[in-house]
Chains A and B, each alone.
Chain A
Amino acid sequence: METTPSNRSEREREKLEVVAGNGLLDRRAFLRGGAAFAAAMTGYTLVGSAAAEPLADDSWSREPGNLVPAYGVPSRFEKNVARTLSNPKGEPRTQHARTPHHLLNGTITPNGLHFVISHAGDADIDPEKHHLVIHGLVKRPLVFTLDALARYPMVSRMTFVECGGNSAPMFSKEPIQASVQALHGLASCAEWTGVPLSTLLEETGIDPRAKWLIAEGADSLALSRSVPLTKALDDAMIALYQNGERLMPGNGYPMRLLLPGWEGNMNVKFLRRLKLVEQPAMSYYETRTYSQILPGGKAYRFYFVQEVKSFITHPSPGLALKGPGYYEISGIAYSGNGRISKVMVSADGGQSWAQAALQGPVLSKAFARFRMPWRWDGGPAVLQSRAWDEGGNVQPTRAQFVAQRGETQKVPNVLAFPNQHYNSLTSWAIDGKGEVKHVYA
């Protein structure tokens, strides 16, 4: 191309907008206005007219539409936006339903797509007959009906729930080729509304000897977990509503214990009993299932916190790039320790990084959506994100993580749980055709 004053200045402006290797653009490029952003995009604008023929009315524009349903469901063209099921025939073992992060955007998980793990199916509870008992080391044991709880002062908060086993395929020694849904689909985020547990404990009173409470569900396993009383009095909630409507059966209808930022299994669903005690129960799920073997043979107990994590949802495996040009890299970041303070993105496998824009409001223990403008030049790229939280915690690199936590000797089944609490980086490799693969970088 012949150099003219005009395109030279465009190229200089473009250079200003590139903030890291392989085409990452300044996250503020959008904010600075059309001119600067257009400059960054020079040479990659859509060419020509998309329509070969003049625009005309389609059938849906020429006749009245469908009956409005009493309870809406997504368009029939969105049927692929669904959870994946690990046990679709309901065999007598755990069922997992994973959130399709790559087909969603923003920070709220729709209720029908919120992840579910049911260790013995979804209990079919008649809310009129459900009770919540609080007893043990209290001054006054009390039983509450759902109607009674619904009259208490309520609070709403956005918070994520994540299974301790989310991202477990990442313990594989080799990267398993799977979607972000298969790798990270056991985390979701909703607005939960309910009664602060501290309000109810004020009414029962607390015996000073109480240090823990045992939370138990009304499901067939009577699933139980021990929770430190400090957490119960901090931000625990008896959640009755999820994104404005009553809890979904898979998320614990008619009530669940919500422990913001803590291991999903502890957020006991179908909650029917809270017993205040001096010592933890050492229940099956806390001392067996959700205790993590470490290299050398010791094991973690009471991990509780879902630590800072992020992953890119767009692009990701299954969402191939359609030719060079502009794309938005975006993804999800969250921490059980508080707010996300920063997300860095790399397009060259970690050689250079640039700070992504965080969509506000960034809330404590909730999904934060990060966005990063990117101009793909059509060559190989490796996309990564790395998050920091307000407590100064940072996602470990894979090398750091594996050194501490180990990896499998063989490649496990993608549905297996070789270990838990994986929070290292996820890397997506883009090849010259725009296909996205899972790699370790």
Chain B
Amino acid sequence: MSTHRLPAIALALGLGSGAAFAAGPNLGTPIEPAEIAAWDISIQPDGTGLPIGGGTPAQGAKIFAQKCALCHGESGKGGVFAALVGGAPLIGGIDTPKTIANFWGYSTTVFDFIRRAMPWQQPRSLTDNEVYALTAFILAQNKLIGEDDSMNAETLPKVRMPNRDGFIIRFPDKI
């Protein structure tokens, strides 16, 4: 092995020091977590990434009527776009529309998607409290939590979705 390969090997082994990094193009700029915070919005199923704050179904109902019902119908029963409440049993097979209640495996996905993508015309305009409240409202409408249950970083990941165990990893060897 020739000596000029050594820096790359060191990196591969995780032994890279500042000097070793200099071996590559090294054109990235170091960045601090605080600088990434506005973009760092991924929530994981165990709750990792959930922000501080919280909200109740009652709070969510008001926000929903103002900002969501136009597309998703009154109380999320479906309108121009997808219903957020209800859903037929999946034993109907491929003809069954997927809904939060009958399909989604994790409650954290509800929070994550509202926060990153909704409302359609003004994504990322909701406060974290509003996202918690809307998440609580939708989960309560689906009777997955109680009418008075507040959703926050502690409670949300503990909501067990009905179809949590309904999935088969297609190609386990690819993971």
Contact = CB atoms under 8 A, between A and B. Distances in A.
B31 interface: yes
B93 A296 contact: yes
A226 to B, nearest CB: 9
Contacts of A153: 25
A5 interface: no
Nearest to A141: B31
A151 B25 contact: yes
Nearest to B120: A92
A406 B50 CA distance: 38
A288 B14 CA distance: 36
Interface in B122-175: 123-124, 163, 166-171, 174-175
Contacts of B121: 92
A304 B14 CA distance: 29
B19 interface: no
B52 interface: no
A415 interface: no
B170 A301 contact: yes
B94 A406 contact: yes
Nearest to B46: A279
Contact of B44 (A143, A282, A302, A409): A282
A142 B30 contact: yes
B26 interface: yes
Interface in A134-158: 134-135, 139-144, 148-149, 151-153
A295 to B, nearest CB: 5
A148 B45 contact: no
Interface string B1-43: 0000000100110101000010011111111110110011111
Contacts of B14: 139, 205-206, 208
Contacts of A141: 30-33, 36
Contacts of B109: 282-284, 287-288
B51 interface: no
Contact of A143 (B31, B43, B167, B170): B31
A405 B96 CA distance: 14
Contacts of A292: 94
Contacts of A303: 170-171
Interface stretch (A16-24, A35-43, A196-204, A366-374): A196-204
Contact of B170 (A199, A205, A280, A302): A302
Nearest to A134: B28
B89 A202 contact: no
Given A304-B171, A304-B174, A293 B96 contact: yes
A405 B170 CA distance: 12
Contact of B71 (A92, A283, A288): A92
A279 B171 contact: no
Secondary structure call for the B interface: loop
Interface stretch (A51-59, A99-107, A217-225): A217-225
**Looking at chain B, what size class is its interface with the partner chain?**
35 or more
A297 B71 contact: no
A287 B94 contact: no
A214 B81 CA distance: 27
Contact of A224 (B42, B105, B163): B42
A282 B169 CA distance: 13
B28 A288 contact: no
A428 B91 CA distance: 33
A402 to B, nearest CB: 10
B108 interface: yes
B103 to A, nearest CB: 6
A304 B39 contact: no
A302 B171 contact: yes
A214 B167 contact: no
A202 B30 CA distance: 14
A357 interface: no
A422 to B, nearest CB: 11
Contacts of A280: 44-45
A204 B89 CA distance: 46
Given A92-B120, A133-B31, A295 B93 contact: yes
Interface in A398-431: 405-410, 418-419
A304 to B, nearest CB: 5
Contacts of B28: 134, 142-144, 148, 200, 203-204
A288 B44 contact: no
A295 B94 contact: yes
B27 A228 contact: no
Interface stretch (A183-191, A270-278, A321-329): A270-278
B42 A408 contact: no
Contacts of A305: 170-171, 174
Contact of B175 (A200, A228, A293): A228
Interface of B: 8, 11-12, 14, 16, 21, 24-33, 35-36, 39-46, 48, 71, 81, 89-96, 98, 103-106, 108-109, 112-113, 116-117, 120-121, 123-124, 163, 166-171, 174-175
8 contacts: A133-B39, A135-B33, A206-B14, A222-B123, A296-B91, A297-B89, A299-B166, A302-B174
Instruction: List 8 tightest A-B contacts by C-beta distance, closest first.
Output: A142-B28, A297-B90, A148-B27, A301-B167, A284-B113, A222-B116, A297-B91, A303-B170
